[in-house]
Each structure stands twice: as C-alpha cells, then as structure tokens.
A and B are shown apart, each in its own frame.
Chain A
Amino acid sequence: MGYKTIIEDDIDILVAGAGLGGTGAAFEARYWGQDKKIVIAEKANIDRSGAVAQGLYAINCYMGTRFGENNPEDHVRYARIDLMGMVREDLAFDMARHVDSAVHQFEEWGLPIMRNTKTGAYLREGRWQIMIHGESYKPIVAEAAKKSADKVFNRVCVTHLLMDEAKENRVAGAVGFNVRTGNYHVFKSKTVICGAGGASNIFKPRSVGEGAGRVWYAPWSSGSAYGLMIEAGAKMTQMENRIVLARFKDGYGPVGAYFLHLKTYTQNAYGEEYESKWFPALQKMVGKEYLDPEASHTTHRPIPTCLRNHAIISEVNAGRGPIHMVTMEAFQDPHLEEIGWHNFLGMTVGQAVLWAATDVDPKYENPELTTSEPYVMGSHATGCGAWCSGPEDVSPDDYFWGYNRMTTIEGLFGAGDAVGGTPHAFSSGSFTEGRLSAKAACKYIDDGKAEGIRVTDAQISRRKEEIYKPMETYTVGRNEIVAGSVNPNYINPRQGLDRLQKLMDEYCGGFGVNYMTNDKLLSIGLKKMAILGEDLDKVAAEDVHELLRAWELKHRFLTSEAVFQHTMFRKETRWPGYYYRGDAMKVDDENWHVLTVSRRDPKTGEYTMEKAPLYHLVGDIEDKDLAKLKAEGHH
C-alpha cells in the first residue's frame, strides 16, 4: 500500500482527541510545561470537533462560588443522588472546586455569558446551569489549545495506543492514520491524555434510514475513549451505566432550558400529570434514600434523571402516551418564545428544522417527548469511563496512585468522557479535567517516570498492518463478486454497525425491549458479540473514509463488550429508567453499593470484574434545606 509513515518523535504530551477535555489538556499543559512538546491528534478539525462542535446554549457545570451560590460539595451531593449514589466523589469534588476558573477564562476569551441584569451574576437557568450564547464555544476554546500546542494534527484518527516495551503497562504514544491522505501516523510520546469521546450509535437508534445520524450524542462520538483504553488493558468503571435521555421526539432537542428557565412541564396524552402516581411503586424498588418526592419538593435535591425516565416509560407502556411538553403557556411570552428557539439554534439546529418541517409551533401546540436509545459516555448524567487516580489531598488510598486523572496504565491520563465515575462534568467540567490531567502529566515526566521508554519497529509495523487490514480485505474479496455490497468474505462497516446495534438493543436493554435485560439475555448476547468480534477481523473498507468508519466500529465494539460485561456483573437494577435487570428488579445496596471495575486482558481478551468500594463525603455543612428536614425528623 502506498501510504507514507510519518513519525512524530520526542513528544512529551500527546492529546488524543481534542473536544472540550482535550483542548483543556493542551491549553494547561503549556503552563506547567513551557519547554515541553505538546501535540494534538484529532480525527476531525479541532475548531468543530467533539460533542460541542455545534455549540451550546448553556454551561451545565458552574458552581458560582464567586456569587456565593454553591460549594463543590453541593455539586457532589447533587451528582451522587442523580446517579443513585454511584459517583467517584473525590473526582467530582476536585473537578467542582476548579471548574469556575475555567469558565471565567472562557469569558475572558470572548465567550458571551449572559448576566442577570439585577444582580450582575451569571444568568442561571437552574441551580447548576448558566446561559451562554455558545454557537462559537468550540472554536473559541480551540483557539486557546492551538496557542498552547506545538503541533495540531487534524484529520488523524488515533486507532491504538503505543505501549512501552521496556516496562510493562506503561504508555509510549499512539498510532493512527490520516482520514484524507491515508498516511500512517506514529506519535512517540512520554504521556498520552485521552480526550476522545463516548459512544453514540452502539444501541439501535429510534430513527431509521437517513435519520440514523440524528442521535442525541454526536454520531462522531465513536466510543474511542473506551476503545483505545480498553484495548491497552486499562481498568474501566461503571460501563453498565448507560444513559437514556427524555428529549423532544425525533429531533432530540434539549429540554433543560425548557424545564428550568421557561418553566414548561410535562403531561400525558390526556393532559394529566403522570409522574407522581408511579413514584410509590418505584420507591419500593429503589428505597426512600433514592426517591423521596417530599424531600425533593421542599429542597434542591433532584429526583434522579433515570427515575423521571421511568415514569415516562411506565406511562407510555400503560397506553397514555405520548408525553407532551407543555409549552403553550410559556411561549405566549415573546421573550421566552425567542429563548426557546435560540436554545435549539445554539445547540440542536435539527430540532428547529423538524418543527419547521412539521409546522409545530410550540405557542399553539405542546410538542411530543420521547425517551432515546441508550448512550455510553461519562460527562452527562452518567459516569462510564476509565478507573483513574484522584487528587492527593482528597482521595482515599483506594482511589489514589500518584497522579491525578492517571488511568491504571502508567503515563495514560484521561479527560471528559474518558474518566469514569464523574458524571455531570459536562463541557466545562471536561475542560477542567483536561487541565488537571495536563498538570499531572507534566509532573509525571518531571518526576522521571517516563525515562527509558522503548518502542520497537516491530510494534510500529504490526499496528500499521492491522490498521490497513480492512482495505486489504476489500481488495482481495471484492474481485470475487460482480458488484454490490453482498460478499461472503467480508462485511462493510455499516453492515457491522447495524449488527452491533441490533444486538445491543435486543440483548443489552435498548429501547426496542423497553430497556429490559436479564442474565440469560446477556449471556446469549455475549456469545453473539464474540462471533461479531471474529467477523470484525473481516471488516472491509473500500477507501480511506470507510477505513475511518471501520475503526470507529471497532472502538464501538470494544465499548459495547465492556457494557455487556459490566451489565452482567452488577446484579441489580440500580438505575430504573436507564435499564432494568429483569432477574434483579431492585436496588440492592447490601451487595451493590460499590463501583464496578473491569479489565480486559490485552493478550487474551478475557475480562475480569471486581467491586471497588464507594467513599462518600460527609461533613457538617450539609445541604441546608435537607439538614432542616432531617432535623425535623423527616428521615
């Protein structure tokens, strides 16, 4: 094959994937490593890559300590209850105590943040969210990363991490290919910060045909954060914790500003409030610690996202769907109406297009909501990702091994979706995690931990052969048939993706089975996954673009396999409304008040699972309203 090999040597910090996490890493690395070589590899163009490519209309993680609003521990308690207790509280606390400094820098760089004209504080959408005109959020943040990086390799898809051959379990860089030229890129680096994304499109989407790209999380979020790290043998956590979103039907337009700022609310098809009637039975499933509508009503304590989904799913199954968002009241106010539309244009233009196409004017009609297919990611109301060390001054021994946000592979750090157990980081928190890992990576190098790394030519050639194999498979197999896409020797990436999505949907709790699975379904699913894995050795790519899709599929497959293993391991229904284990339909705190941790052996592909203890923040300064309720003997 005529592709060149381009080697970038002597890198100190390689950022693999530069969405909000990766840009934060590149930016901060320059401060702590002013003489260090910082390189970004990104499969798209960092000006518009990652989940924030389209823009955002809110920053969902901002404490506002400056305005006396929240402390980091308030955020931890919020994330903890929303995730039914399953949070790395050390990481969440750490992110929350730094996140405001990132947001203040965004404002300095030119990001328009709305202000409350009366108080001068940032305009709050809800307790945690501030409103922005964020169409250019990503290009503004990318500019900062470009100023810091020595080199940015746009359009290079990182497929594998390079491993040190002098010392086991130590990272040595990464390899990939340019999705336009086809050239093979080798990055030899002392550290790697994985800023790649979570996974859309691994469960069968509700949309069919052309609309398959209209997914909630970006279609280019190919689970590469997980694919890269799992393949290298990093420990993962909470991979069972997929997320299902209640969103506007078909367009998946966001609902946050509608609920919080526009004060819209939901009702069933017959105009009735439906949520509260599902709560008594649900409370029996999950326990009063996790669902206490009365406490939630009188305090800021939210009802967990998954449980609100559960009410929607149950009401629809009871034959009283669809669920509607009641917009007709709020939209009579022209100012709120304008905000409602701006909200879509700023981050999900597709929803505006859909309403224009279907003549849905929310002023005169209450639009439909739906629950989405599941997604696997780590920065929204879910915490999939790598098992990472926390900061020295916060983390207990179980959670600390020397460098903040370092995975269980030496020199490999994570940010954003890559880090497990840190839900509710969103854009600003992901950027902050990137900054934290960059500082830690610089320290790791300065401490001499990256000395004597050896990468042989054999490793580099082996990966090269592996990367281009789908094109080889195509060339050899294609000549056997006259034309078309049906071939007995290979499948193309789209065919493989369809099979993966069907499998995940039917056996691992997708929307098609009402998010239900059990031990039997999971073990059948795992057998089928193993065979799909064999067939993916025969995935074929007609050109370089299809080669990109082939590698995205392989990353999605590795992600999915971990989701299966974790879902099988956690024998309880921890998050009703995200998924259900039919053979264990309750929250089981006695056995499962733990984080799940997995490792896939890179040599054998075998999984080992373990439970890791949960640590919780305790202290005198509880949520004030909740403390009051407790004092009154409510709990």
Chain B
Amino acid sequence: MPTFVYMTRCDGCGQCVDICPSDIMHIDKTLRRAYNIEPNMCWECYSCVKACPHHAIDVRGYADFAPLGHSVRVHRDEEKGTIAWRIKFRNGKKDMDLLAPITTKPWGSGHYDLASVPAPAKDMVNTELLYNEPKYVAMNENDLMTLESNGLEIKEGVYY
C-alpha cells in the first residue's frame, strides 16, 4: 500500500521527505509538493503519514492484491502521547476507532546524558558489566550471571 499525497492539502513542508526510511517521498520540482517516487519500495510503514502536519498523505492498498475503497487513517500526537487509528472496510460494514499510548512520559523527558553521569571506575572496563548493571538486569543486588554461577559448562560436540 503505497502512499500518495492529496494535492490540496500538501504545502510542500518536507516533513515526510525528512522521515521516510525508504527515501521515496520527494518534492515534485514543478508542483512543489511531496509525492511517492517509488511505490514498489514502500513498506506502508506510515512514518510519513504520521509525520505530515496536514494529514495530506494517505495510503491506497497495493494494486496487485488490494481492492479499492478502504481507508486506514491515523493521528499521532506526541503531546498527548497517543496514536488514534480509524479503519474503514471497502463494504462499509466495519468502521473502527482504535486508540493506543505511544509513551508514558512527556516526550524525551525520560532520557539522560551518559556524558554527565559518574564515570565508571577504572577496573569496571575489565568486567562483563554494562551501564547500570548488575542492578538493572533483575532490579536487585544480584551479580551478573556467569557459566559458573548457573552451574554450566560449554563443551564441544553434540550434547542435548
């Protein structure tokens, strides 16, 4: 289901061009609006649809197996932390609204800068521990597991 762009809604802002993982949303040089230059490299991932501030981008199912007349629309809201979907069937018999959270925190507020946390002690580099470990593995004071701690050996050959 390649994407397409409605002529009257697109203002050529380029948000879709900026986000498309497949590099297929480009600006038409004459019309100065976005369009999908390579539908058969479109994964219908909806990244551009979600990013468009004008809801100018929609999807029409792949011509080789999807009949016309359906609609799956989306509104992603980082401030509210939600994504809202509406699915409409071709025969009109099903029309669903679905809502899901996309984050539990104000956008970006849960992240930290590892350049400003206390640096690891010198000998830490020779352990198997990563940042915040061992605590974050099981959220307790246990050490990181090893073959020895778990009563294991690693041996060559067929052992089942």
* Interface, chain A (partner B; CB < 8 A): 27-28, 30-32, 34, 43-45, 47-50, 53-54, 65-66, 71-73, 85, 89-90, 93-94, 97-98, 100-101, 104-105, 107-112, 133, 135-136, 140, 143-144, 147-148, 155, 179, 207-215, 218-220, 250, 289, 338, 341-342, 345-346, 349-350, 352-359, 361, 391-396, 398, 435-436, 439, 442-443, 446, 545, 548-549, 589, 593, 613-621
Assess the B133–A213 pair: CB atoms within 8 A.
no
Nearest chain B CB to A567's CB is how many angstroms away? Answer: 23
Residue in A31, A89, A392 whose beta carbon sits within 8 Å of that of B114 in the complex: A31
Evaluate contact between A147 and B76: CB separation under 8 angstroms.
no
Task: List chain A residues, Cβ under 8 A from B68.
Answer: 357
Contact check, A621 vs B154: say whether CB atoms are below 8 A apart: no
Q: Which residues of B contact A359 (CB under 8 A)?
A: 89-91, 93-94
Q: Report whether A30 and B67 are in contact in the complex, using a CB–CB cutoff of 8 Å.
A: no
Among B82-110, those with CB < 8 Å from A are 83, 85, 87-91, 93-94, 96, 98, 100-105, 107-110
**Which chain B residue lies CB-closest to A64?**
B138
| A393/B46 contact (C-beta < 8 A), A112-B102, A136-B103, A353-B72 known | no
A211-B88 Cα distance, complex, nearest whole Å: 21
B110 touches A349 (CB 8 A): no
Q: A28-B131, A218-B45 are in contact. List 19 more A-B contacts (CB 8 A).
A: A44-B23, A54-B43, A54-B47, A71-B145, A90-B154, A109-B111, A213-B39, A220-B21, A349-B59, A353-B1, A354-B65, A356-B72, A359-B93, A392-B128, A393-B146, A442-B125, A545-B23, A545-B37, A613-B157
Quick check: A101 and B133 within 8 Å, CB to CB? yes
Chain A residue numbers with a CB within 8 Å of B5 are: none
- Which one of A93, A396, A439, A548 contacts B130 once the chains associate, using CB atoms below 8 Å? A439
Q: Are A98 and B151 also in contact (CB < 8 A) when A44-B23, A353-B66, A356-B88 are?
A: no
Chain B residues whose C-beta falls within 8 Å of the C-beta of A446 in the assembled complex: 125
Does B136 lie within 8 Å of A213, measured CB to CB? Answer: no
Contact B23 A208 (CB under 8 A): no
By the criterion CB–CB under 8 Å, are A357 and B40 in contact? no
A sample of 6 cross-chain residue pairs with beta-carbon separation below 8 angstroms, ordered by A number, consists of A48-B47, A155-B23, A349-B46, A352-B85, A614-B158, A618-B153
In the bound complex, how far is the Cα of B37 from the Cα of A549, in angstroms? 13
Contacts of B21 in A (CB 8 A): 44-45, 48-50, 53, 218, 220
Contact A213 B104 (CB under 8 A): no
Residues of chain B touching chain A, judged by Cβ–Cβ distance below 8 Å, are 1-2, 18-23, 26, 37-47, 59, 61-72, 74, 76, 83, 85, 87-91, 93-94, 96, 98, 100-105, 107-115, 117, 119-120, 125-126, 128, 130-133, 136-140, 144-147, 150-160
The answer to whether residues A71 and B150 also contact, given A28-B130, A341-B96 and a CB cut-off of 8 A, is yes
Min C-beta distance of B86 to chain A, whole Å: 10
Query: Which one of B119, B144, B151 contacts A619 once the chains associate, using CB atoms below 8 Å?
Result: B151
> Given the complex, which residues of A lie within 8 Å of B145, measured CB to CB?
65, 71-72, 97
Q: State the CA gap A89–B150 with chains docked (Å).
A: 14
B131 in contact with A618 (CB, 8 Å): no
Kindly provide the distance from the CB of B26 to the nearest chain A CB, expressed in whole angstroms. 7
Which residue in A98, A342, A548 is a CB contact (below 8 Å) of B98?
Answer: A342
- Minimum CB–CB distance from A450 to chain B (whole Å) comes to 15
On whether the beta carbons of B87 and A356 are closer than 8 Å, the reply is: yes
A352 contacts B87, CB within 8 Å?
Answer: yes
B22 to chain A, nearest CB (A): 5
Main SS class of interface, A: helix
Given A109-B111, A353-B59, A393-B147, answer yes or no on A54-B136 (Cβ-Cβ < 8 Å).
Answer: no
Instruction: Say whether A613 contacts B45, CB under 8 Å.
Output: no
Are the CB atoms of B85 and A147 closer together than 8 Å? no
Chain B min CB distance to A30 (Å):
4
> Given A105-B132, A353-B1 in contact, is the A98-B137 Cβ separation under 8 Å?
yes
**Nearest residue in A to B65 (C-beta to C-beta)?**
A250
Alpha-carbon gap, A359 to B95, bound state (A): 11
Complex: chain B residue closest to A99, CB-CB: B137
Which residues of chain A are within 8 angstroms of B153 by Cβ–Cβ distance?
A: 617-619
Task: State the Cβ distance, A429 to closest chain B Cβ, in Å.
Answer: 13
Compute how far the CA of A394 lies from the CA of B89 in the bound complex, rounded to whole angstroms: 54
Known: A353-B70, A618-B152. A133 touches B131 (CB 8 A): no
Cβ–Cβ contact B22 & A350, under 8 A: no
Instruction: Determine the distance from Cα of A443 to Cα of B67 in the docked complex, in whole angstroms.
Output: 56
Contacts A101-B136, A111-B103, A356-B89 given; indicate if A613 touches B156 (C-beta within 8 A): yes
* Minimum C-beta distance from B82 to chain A (A): 9
CA distance A395 to B25 in the complex (A): 46
Q: Are A66 and B23 neighbours in the complex by a CB distance under 8 Å?
A: no
Bound together, the chains give a CA A49 to CA B22 distance in angstroms of: 9
Please determine whether B1 and A350 come into contact, CB atoms closer than 8 angstroms: yes
Residue of B nearest to A435 (CB): B130
Decide: A345 and B23 in contact? CB cutoff 8 A: no
Chain B residues lying within 8 Å of A65, measured Cβ to Cβ, are: 137-138, 145
Query: In the complex, what distance in Å separates the CA atom of A50 from the CA atom of B157?
Result: 36
* Shortest CB distance B126–A (Å): 8
